[in-house]
Amino acid sequence: MNFKIDIEKFKKQIDAFRKESTELGKVINPILDNFDLNKQEILEVCQIGKFAFKIDSEIKIVDKPQPPNPDFIIELKNNYIGLEHTLILTKDAQRYFSVKNLMEYAEQVFEQKYPNINVLATISVQNDEWIYSQKDKPKLAEQIADCVHLTILKKDFELPEKITRIRTTKHSKVSFSYMEKNWQGEYLTKERLKTEIEKKETKISGYKTSEKELTELWLVLLIGSNSSVSYQLNESENYQMESKFDRVYLMADFDAKVLRVK
C-alpha cells in the first residue's frame, strides 16, 4: 500500500501548533514569572491558560490570590473577573493519588540518589492499587528508584511484589509516570456536575473583592485528565443548568474541549 504524505498540510499543522504554543505562553508566562508556585499550582495555571486561550484570546491572567479569594483574577475587555476552578473526581480518587504520590516521591529519591541521570520511567502497578503505611513510604520510594536505575542499566532483577512493569526511555529530565491498566474513567452525569457546582457556590459569599473590583465570578470545572478517577465527557448529555456563578464552564483537560454550562 502506497502512503503519500501531504507535506503542505503537515507544515500548516506544525505552524498552527507553534502559534498556539506562543499564544498560550503569553497567557501563562506572566503568572509563572511573577509568582513562586509549587508543582500543583503551575499545573493549575497551565489548565486555566488553556481554558482562556480556547474561549477568548484577549483574556489575561492577572493574579493568583490566596483563599478566600477566587483561585484566579482574569482580565477581559478591561473588566476584572474572579475565576474559581476545580477538578471533578470519582469517589475512589484516593486509590489513584496514593500510588501517584508514591511515584512522585520515588522520582525525588531517584534525583538525589542518581544525579545527572535523566529518564522517563513508566511504571505499572498490580490491580492499579497499592495500600501502604506512611512510615513505609520512604523505603518503598527508594526501592522503586533503585528498580528504575537497574532497568536503565538493563540488569536482571526481581520486581517488587506490587509492580508489574517498568519501562524507561531517555528524557530531558527525571519523570516517573504511573500507568494505570484500567485508566478510562466513568462518564460525567448531570447530577454529579450539579453537586460539584453547588459545593463551589457555598464559597461565593466569602470571596473578598480584592484590590481590583470584580465584575463577574466564573467557575471552571475540569474532567478528562486521562486517569480512572477523572470523569469523561458524555457527548449525549445536556449539561446546561442554572448557577449563582455568572458563568460556568466544563473543560476536558486532556484535549482542552470547553463547554459553557451556564
* Digit-coded pLDDT (tens) for 208-261: 666 678 999 999 999 977 677 889 889 899 999 999 999 999 998 777 789 999
Choose the weakest-confidence range: 17-31, 130-144, 166-180, 209-223: 17-31
**Site of grid cell 520512604:** 138
- What band does 5 get if pLDDT is binned at 50, 70 and 90? very low
Q: What is the pLDDT of residue 19?
A: 57
What pLDDT does 4 receive? Answer: 45
CB 101 within 8 A of CB 141: no
Is beta strand 79-87 parallel, antiparallel or unpaired with respect to 72-76?
A: antiparallel
CA geometry: angle 114, 95, 50, nearest 5 deg:
75
3-state secondary structure of 165: strand
Could you read off the pLDDT of 38-87 as tens digits, one per residue?
888 888 888 888 898 888 878 888 888 888 889 999 999 999 999 999 99
Q: Which three cell numbers stand for residue 78?
A: 478591561
What is the arrangement of strands in the sheet containing 174-179, beginning at the earlier edge strand? 163-169, 119-125, 174-179
Confidence band for 205, pLDDT divided at 50, 70 and 90: confident
pLDDT at 210: 62
Compute the mean pLDDT over every residue in the chain, rounded to the nearest whole number: 86
pTM for the model: 0.78
